[in-house]
Structure 1
Amino acid sequence: MATIDITQSHRLTLDDAKAKAEELAKSMETKFGLSWKWAGNTINFEAPSGAAKGTKGEVAVTDKDVRVAIDLPFMLKMMKGTIEEKIKERLAQFA
């Protein structure tokens, strides 16, 4: 598996950062068929089917930063760089 781990600092309130993280999760749900749920200040997600099948990860939110950690299945390993860039673009919303 290929691993992606990106942290973005922010100046939002914890509630605002969590709201943006939830927007990100809903977007991933729509685009990639990921299922997700909150566990405290962390969104855990996975793709049980579809193009991203086997992808698992989390979006952890604190009052200072947002961390996205993803385990990509072998089939998506070659797209790791592209996926990282897309995540960085989305996390720029938090800055």
Structure 2
Amino acid sequence: MASIDIQHPHTLPPAHARQAVQDVADKLVDRFGMECRWNGDILDFTRTGVDGRIALLPGQLHVTAQLGFLLGAMKGPIEAEIRRILDERF
């Protein structure tokens, strides 16, 4: 199983950062059929082949994900897309 672990700094106020994470989650639901739910300041997301979370920390986001066998083969492009979205939003 391949894993992704990204720490990304941000300077947004907590409410704005949470809304930006929610916007990303909404796109995950629309595009990939992910199931997302908040648990405090952590957004858990899952679907077949992916299990992950986005932890909203002061001044930083921490994205972790476990990729199943098929998606594990695409880890590089998936991680690059996550980094691109984080750079764009935060």
Does TM, scored on the shorter chain, surpass 0.5?
yes
Identity of aligned residues (%): 33
**CA shift for structure 1 position 78:** 1.2
Partner of 2:86: 91
User: How many aligned positions are there?
Assistant: 89
State the one-letter code of the partner of 1:12. Answer: L
Segments of 5+ residues of structure 2 without an aligned counterpart are none
TM-score normalised to structure 2 length: 0.95
Segments of 5+ residues of structure 1 without an aligned counterpart are 48-52
Structure with higher strand content: 2
Of 50, 54, 58 in structure 2, the residue corresponding to residue 59 of structure 1 is 54
Alignment of 1:16-95 (within 5 A): 16-47=16-47, 53-92=48-87, 93-94=89-90
Q: Which runs of 4 or more aligned residues in structure 1 lie more than 4 Å from their structure 2 counterparts after TM superposition? A: none
Instruction: Check the 8 A contact 1:10/1:66 in 2, yes or no.
Output: yes
